[in-house]
Structures are given as C-alpha cells and as structure tokens.
Amino acid sequence: MTADARIAAITERIVERSRPTREPYLDQVRRMAAAGPHRASLSCGNLAHGFAACPAGDKEALSDGHTPNIGIITAYNDMLSAHQPFETFPALIREAARAAGGTAQVAGGVPAMCDGVTQGQPGMELSLFSRDVIAMAAGIGLSHNMFDAAVYLGVCDKIVPGLAIAALTFGHIPAVFIPAGPMPSGLPNDEKARVRQLYAEGKVGRDALLEAESKSYHSPGTCTFYGTANSNQMLMEIMGLHMPGASFVNPNTPLRDALTKEATERALAITALGNAFTPAGEMIDERSIVNGVVGLHATGGSTNHTLHLVAMARAAGIQLTWQDISELSDVVPLLARVYPNGLADVNHFHAAGGLGYLIGQLLKKGLLHDDVRTVYGEGMANYASEAVLGPEGGVARTPAPDVSHDPKILATVDEPFQPTGGLKMLTGNLGKAVIKVSAVKSQHHVIEAPAKVFHDQAELQDAFKAGELDEDFVAVIRFQGPKANGMPELHKLTPVLGILQDRGHKIAMVTDGRMSGASGKVPAALHLTPEAVDGGPIARVREGDMVRVDAVNGSLEVLVETSAFMARIPEQADLSANHTGIGRELFASLRAVAGPADQGASVLY
C-alpha cells in the first residue's frame, strides 16, 4: 500500500532538503563499499595482528578474504540492567557465525550510562554527550576495517542513538542491532510513581521508597516503562535494523538466544560477499527515518528522540527537523498506552500484540512507508509479524494479530486513543521547544501562569520542601542546555510537579534542558532553543512574568510587551560548579562545540 499522501509529502520535503548532504554521503558509502573491507588488502602484518588471538579455524577463514567477518560492537556493562545480559552475547554470536560459515570478532566496546543511576546526580551532565562519545568509540572499533558487517549490542537511552550514528557513519557495511529485551514485570510503574510522591511529601520513609524501587527494577533486562530505551527498541525495529519481533523478548530465554543467532546469520547473509548486499547507509533512507518518527508518535515515545533521531538522520546525510516531526504528529494517531502514557508496561504491550500488531495497523492506513529496505529484506510488511520459538529451537514467525489482545493497551488505527501523536513543536517569543502531550490530560494542554525561575532543579525541590510552590505557576528552569551543563534530564522534578498538579494547581515547565522518556503527566516545554547560556530569550524571563504554554496551538509565549522584554539584560549564571567533578572537567570541549537542540545537540555536526 502506498503511503498516505500527507506522509509522502513530508518525506519528499525531507528528500529535497537533504539532497546537498545525502548525495555526497551516498557517494562515499558507495566508494567505500566498492573498496571493501581492507582485510583482504591488509598487509600480512596488519592481518596477523587482526587475528592473532583467534583460533586456527578462524585464522584460516579470515586470511582467505572470502569468508564474511562480523565486527561486534558491544555496550556490555553491569551498571545497566538492560545491558548486563550482553555479557554472554559475543560467545553466542561467534559460535553462530562459525556454524553459518563465517567469523565474528568483538571489534570494540563502547561506554554506556544508566540514566536511572545518574538521574538527579552530577553524572547526568555527561549523559547527552555520551551519545556522541559512543559513536566515536564504536568508530574506533570499526576502524580496524576487518569487517564485512557489524552487529551492535545496545539498548538504552544514548547508546542506541550513538551506535546508530556509528552504523551510519560506517554505512558501507550492513548493520544489525541485537537487543537483550525487557526485564520481567515487577511492581507496576504507577505504583512506583505513587510511592515516590508519598516519599516527596514525607508520608513514607526511604525504606518504603527503596522497597518499591527495588521491586520495580529487579533483574536483568530493560526497565519496563516506555522511556527512551524502549523507544529505541521500537525505532530499531520500525526502521528495519532489528530482526522482526526482536525488541521485547525477555533476556535469558530460548527465543532471545534464537533471535541473536538468527541476527548473526542474517548479518553474514547481507554482506557484499553474498547476493543480498544491504549496506546500512543505503538501507536507511528518508522513508526509514519517517517510519521511525511515525512509530514515535503512534507509541507515545520519548521526547529525547527529538534530539537523537535528528542526530541519527544527520549521520546518513538526512536533515530531519522538528517541523517535520510536529507535522507528522498531526497525521499519526496514538495507538499504544504504555507507561507513562498508560498503566501497562512493555511486557503487557508485547503480549497485547506488540510492535507486529502496531505496524500492521499503521500499514493498513498507509501511515508507514512499506517500500523500505530492512535487514530482513524488502518491505515493512515483514515486520507485521510475531517471532516465536520454532520446533527445532530456531525462530519462526507468524502474522501479527489483526485484533489487539488488550484494547486498553493497543487500539485500532480506526479508533485510536488520540487522533494525533504525542510530540509537538512549540514556537513563540521564547524560541522553539518540544512537548509530549500523550501522557498529559487534556485539561493541562494549555497552561498560563506566573513564572517561577530556577537555575537548578535542586532549587525547585528546596522551594517545594519550604512550601513555596502551593500555587499555579510555570517552572522556568534555565541554564540546563548542552553548552551550559550538558543538558541533563530533570526527571527528579516529576514527583514534585505531579503532587502540585494533583493538588489542583495549574503547573507547567519550560526549560532548555530535557526530561526523561519516562516523564509525562506535567506539560513541559523541553529542549528550548536558543538556550540561556547563548543569550536565548529564556535568560530574560523574570519571576512573576506570565508565561503561556499552549500545546493545542503549538505556542510558547512570555506575556511581556516586546520592547520592554527585549530591553532586559539577559541573566547570567555561575556554572563553574557544573564544569568540574565526576568527569565534567573532561567534557569542556564538548560543551563548547555542542550544537543547538533542534539540530540534535550534537558535538559531531
């Protein structure tokens, strides 16, 4: 089915805008693909170093230049519950590669930060930059140029975007992303949030809070809310970089291992040495990127992808804008209600029909480009399927259900939860921002209230504890942009702002910083650009100014007479404390070159 005309028009606009950067990118991809991995042309010295530690069989295979070799980029560490399962994946991949007539080597590791561990802590000020550091680190591994394809082991927030930037930078070889899957369901996310609000109000102690948190985050696998990590899984699948049905199968299960084995076999099959060469840089095109944005809207995905998807697209020479994302939101309905957009978690979503059902529904209405290339072959329709364990222990696929197994979690495209997606762009005299409304009740979609200005999230928490916030207000939290302090997530404010909203106050937030993908119920104008440290209008806002956040009309305004507002001297902030400690001194050069949020807040482009 051809794509909906409105979606096709936006895609065509992106193609035209991207032409000056996409064409040189494709030229380079084709030149490098024609040259091939220089394993075959490496000097004996180089090659001997490249396989010195391999067993004899691999050495023989690697020296002939005709046996496909996979480079594994792994983000394994014990800090992220989502990445801990990757500890055993390289051995499984090497074994599967040999069994399929190829070889596989760990080309390199990349760092991975757990935003849950660093949330509200100084470490969070390195988090956004870690995306581009991950891309560079993956590039270091792949620069050995011994590989006919690469597989990427990553799940969480900045890791998949960073790996995708690397995969597209090395777009002359195929890329297959291999996930580890969500942890089994624990304490429901809404119950976790309730205990947090009780703790913030002093009604329960740390022991009750830790008990709730530990029951929610309790074992290996991705946290089960639909935040940035699980939005990443959706993106990799709907953009065709996962095997169909791979995203939400739990770790340490036979099907998980079968999917890892299948992904390895597929990576070997789509190299230039075979008959289905699928270099990542040609496979991922403007249609794939638009399909990713459509998936984001249809599932109520993370606001962080208004940064990451822009940066990922740019790595392939594709120029995606917030306007594109906002206009696609007007066309794509919300079909999933997964926490924070509902009570279900990703395991419940998967059981209700998951991505296979969702993709089938979107395709039914032409809301996805079906004519795309994927690691699995031609066409998005292959992804309207479910992966199950076959009789011989391999992966079998069945067509996705045509009806939702739980209409409270997955709606039909004809009767969606909301007629439009969750991510909107806001513009006005404060600049450009994004807002996610899929988790905000409609009565909070327009908020006009006096500004309360903070230069740090802890200041707001202290004001709450001092009882100074029991009224209508717009929290203006500034000097939180990439150049200021690395653009941390301000998710620790969610319980406090949620309590005030629950008390009946009109509450909104405006910031040049970010929130977590797991944030949701309080309307928040995020990623405001230009940022305060660049003299953006947010630096001119004063305590008590009336601010209007309007997600219905897409506007963000400070209601002060223009000449008077512009006559104000922009406020400054002492950020010296944000530039040292916990490694922040190592990132001064990245803060200095960080780009604006609407271009992905990247240090690379």
Ligand X SMILES: O=C(O)[C@H](O)[C@@H](O)[C@H](O)[C@H](O)COP(=O)(O)O
Q: How far apart are CA 207 and CA 205, in angstroms?
A: 5
Give me the sign of the Cα torsion angle 481, 485, 486, 490: negative
Query: Could you tell me the smallest distance in angstroms from the CB atom of residue 114 to ligand SF4?
Result: 3
Cβ closer to ligand SF4: 85 or 227?
A: 227
| Segment interacting with ligand X (CB under 6 A) among 3-11, 14-22, 289-297, 512-520 | 512-520
| Segment interacting with ligand X (CB under 6 A) among 19-27, 199-207, 227-235, 553-561 | 227-235
Q: Which does 81 bind (CB under 5 to 8 A by kind): ligand SF4, ligand X, none?
A: ligand SF4
Q: How far apart are CA 449 and CA 426, in angstroms?
A: 17
Among 132, 157, 265, 598, binds ligand X (CB under 6 A): 157
Among 7, 61, 70, 82, binds ligand SF4 (CB under 6 A): 82
Query: Could you tell me the smallest distance in angstroms from the CB atom of residue 213 to ligand X?
Result: 7
232 binds ligand X (CB under 6 A): no
106 binds ligand SF4 (CB under 6 A): no
The first and second tokens of residue 332, run together, are 């794509």
Which residue matches tokens 């482009």? 605
SS3 assignment for 56-116: HHHHHHHHHCCCCEEEEEECCCCCCCCCHHHHHHHHHHHHHHHHCCCEEEEEEECCCCCHH
Q: Is 54 annotated as a binding residue?
A: no
Among 110, 518, 525, 590, binds ligand X (CB under 6 A): 518
Neighbouring residues of 34: CB distance < 8 A, sequence distance ≥ 6: none
Q: How far apart are CA 498 and CA 504, in angstroms?
A: 10
For the chain, first and last CA: distance in Å? 36
Q: Is 57 exposed, middle or buried (0-12, 13-18, 19+ CB in 10 A)?
A: exposed
Do the beta carbons of residue 601 and residue 489 sit within 8 Å? no
**Minimal CB distance residue for ligand X:** 227
Cβ closer to ligand X: 163 or 518?
A: 518
| Segment interacting with ligand SF4 (CB under 6 A) among 20-28, 78-86, 375-383, 563-571 | 78-86
Q: Which does 428 bind (CB under 5 to 8 A by kind): ligand SF4, ligand X, none?
A: none
**DSSP conformation class of 597:** G
116 binds ligand X (CB under 6 A): yes
Q: Which does 296 bind (CB under 5 to 8 A by kind): ligand SF4, ligand X, none?
A: none
Q: Which does 491 bind (CB under 5 to 8 A by kind): ligand SF4, ligand X, none?
A: ligand X
Do the beta carbons of residue 399 and residue 408 sit within 8 Å? no
Give me the sign of the Cα torsion angle 223, 224, 227, 232: positive
115 binds ligand X (CB under 6 A): yes
157 binds ligand SF4 (CB under 6 A): yes
156 binds ligand SF4 (CB under 6 A): yes
Do the beta carbons of residue 348 and residue 238 sit within 8 Å? no
Q: How many residues bind ligand SF4 (CB under 6 A)?
A: 12
228 binds ligand X (CB under 6 A): yes
Among 29, 73, 100, 114, binds ligand SF4 (CB under 6 A): 114
C-beta atoms surrounding 67 within 10 Å:
19
148 binds ligand SF4 (CB under 6 A): no
Cα–Cα nearest to 92, from 262, 274, 267: 262
517 binds ligand X (CB under 6 A): yes
The first and second tokens of residue 98, run together, are 């040999």
Please report, to the nearest 10 degrees, the dihedral formed by the alpha carbons of residues 235, 237, 242, 248 taken in order. 100
On the question of a cis peptide bond just before residue 340, with omega within 30 degrees of 0, the verdict is yes
345 binds ligand SF4 (CB under 6 A): no
The first and second tokens of residue 510, run together, are 């405006």
Q: Is 223 annotated as a binding residue?
A: yes
Query: Could you tell me the smallest distance in angstroms from the CB atom of residue 123 to ligand X?
Result: 12
Which residue matches tokens 């279900």? 344
Q: Which residues within the stretch 229-248 sit at the binding site for ligand SF4 (CB under 6 A)?
A: 229
Among 73, 176, 229, 423, binds ligand X (CB under 6 A): 229
84 binds ligand X (CB under 6 A): no
Query: DSSP 3-state assignment of 258?
Result: helix
Query: Could you tell me the smallest distance in angstroms from the CB atom of residue 518 to ligand X?
Result: 4
Query: DSSP 3-state assignment of 59?
Result: helix
115 binds ligand SF4 (CB under 6 A): yes
Cα–Cα nearest to 430, from 330, 507, 497, 527: 527
Cα–Cα nearest to 36, from 307, 222, 279: 279
Cβ closer to ligand X: 70 or 477?
A: 477
Among 69, 302, 347, 529, binds ligand X (CB under 6 A): 302
81 binds ligand SF4 (CB under 6 A): yes
Residue 418, phi then psi, degrees to nearest 5? -140, 145
Q: How far apart are CA 605 and CA 584, in angstroms?
A: 21
Among 50, 71, 116, 182, binds ligand SF4 (CB under 6 A): 116
Among 347, 516, 578, 599, binds ligand X (CB under 6 A): 516
The first and second tokens of residue 431, run together, are 């600049």
The first and second tokens of residue 385, run together, are 């399927």
430 binds ligand X (CB under 6 A): no
Neighbouring residues of 203: CB distance < 8 A, sequence distance ≥ 6: none
Cβ closer to ligand X: 220 or 356?
A: 220
**Minimal CB distance residue for ligand SF4:** 116
Among 3, 42, 47, 80, binds ligand SF4 (CB under 6 A): 80
Query: Could you tell me the smallest distance in angstroms from the CB atom of residue 289 to ligand SF4?
Result: 23
C-alpha dist (Å) from residue 254 to 95, 99, 245, 392, 521: 16, 18, 14, 11, 37
Binding site for ligand X (CB under 6 A): 115-116, 119, 157, 227-229, 302, 304, 489, 491, 516-518
Residues lying near ligand SF4 in the complex (CB under 6 A) are found at: 80-82, 114-116, 156-157, 222-223, 227, 229
Annotated binding-site positions for [4Fe-4S] cluster:
156, 223
